Structure 1
């Protein structure tokens, strides 16, 4: 909604087109439908990389939060929970860079997402992830990289 409002304010789209695209974005049921609502808008210049950091405790993101193009997560101790199942993912590829000491990490990705964990180095246990048997075209690619010293990463696809 913010990108559409900014495009309207900068006169890239008309008022009628903004209303139409807002309706399309708010009623989108798949990632590809959301991408269509944002098609031909100018690229975002700010906010494409975000960092979430904590020394200890819990890092948690869930619900309808906006996922940046690159997300860096840094935690020395504690748990990390990222739920992307209802998040707004505007980019075809999202890079999540983990820098974790000890503790557990859990990432829930959309049903139609493709997950790549090749860039992740683990010091203790390998990540728990099973590739989906049936893929749904049009989903984002989630690339997970970085380092986990101790702890375990569990990745799963959303059920709905």
Structure 2
């Protein structure tokens, strides 16, 4: 471990995937008789209520499976001024270092750790690397792609930098709008390799948490719009009620109590 890397602080925010792993450990403990139903329900409620590693870790401390282990975090990244998630996902050991698809496909997604260098081969096949919920073993990681009559698609979250340096022969490497330096303190993904009659593409998509937040914001906006419409209807009803009371029950009555004639109608 380097001098600038220490175990994660307890108040580091936990992910939905971390909470689900703890919940799986609790379910196994219930099935094995290590917990009774009351203890299981109490701990499960605490699991879904937890927001940090410090709150999650004690829940499974006395069980054989440890639930979650806080990742190793780079203090340089933790000190990023913007405090974004992209600045806090650097650290840990790589979950795997390669993937191969020959007349088939591969996929890496969910909670995993991208090592400093990852190699993938797509021969008459295809693969997908989804980095939206991933950790990064270093501030800069290299994905070496070989696509021969096949393709590789790489999905990165907002904020992460992307640098594409691959070579294509009757094929290509394309970062589209995903290319760029990324946010300050965020990790950077360097995509290299060779594409022959194939392609390697990089696209940027929001994380599950960002999609959930956007959905919640849209829902709140719709609720606010409904409240405004209800208030408008209520105000109109109140106005009509006051006019009826003022003019003897006729909401169309004029200032002298008579029903006002429509504009343009001849008076008799």
TM-score normalised by L of structure 1: 0.70
From 129, 133, 143, the equivalent of 2:175 is 129
Q: Distance in 1 between matches of 2:113 and 2:88?
A: 16
Q: Distance in 1 between matches of 2:182 and 2:193?
A: 25
Q: Distance in 1 between matches of 2:138 and 2:125?
A: 29
Change in 2 beyond 3 A, CA 1:53/1:126 = closer
Change in 2 beyond 3 A, CA 1:29/1:22 = farther
Secondary structure of residue in 2 paired with 1:137: coil
Cross-structure match for 1:107: 154
Structure 2 gap segments, 5+ residues each: 15-51, 53-82, 211-268
Cross-structure match for 2:198: 151
Q: Distance in 2 between matches of 1:48 and 1:85?
A: 15
Name the Cα RMSD after superposition: 3.0
Change in 2 beyond 3 A, CA 1:121/1:34 = closer
Cross-structure match for 2:108: 61
Secondary structure of residue in 2 paired with 1:108: strand
Runs of 4+ in 1 over 3 A off after TM superposition: 46-49, 131-135
Greater per-residue strand proportion = 1
Greater per-residue helix proportion = 2
What are the Cα deviations for residues 43-78 of structure 1, in whole angstroms up to 9, with x where unaligned? x7x759712223221111011111111000012121
Q: Distance in 2 between matches of 1:104 and 1:58?
A: 9
Q: Distance in 2 between matches of 1:123 and 1:92?
A: 30
Q: Distance in 2 between matches of 1:47 and 1:87?
A: 10
The 5 A counterparts of 1:44-123 are: 50-118=97-165, 120-123=166-169
1:33 deviates by: 2.6
Q: How many residues align?
A: 136
Change in 2 beyond 3 A, CA 1:100/1:130 = closer
Larger radius of gyration: 2
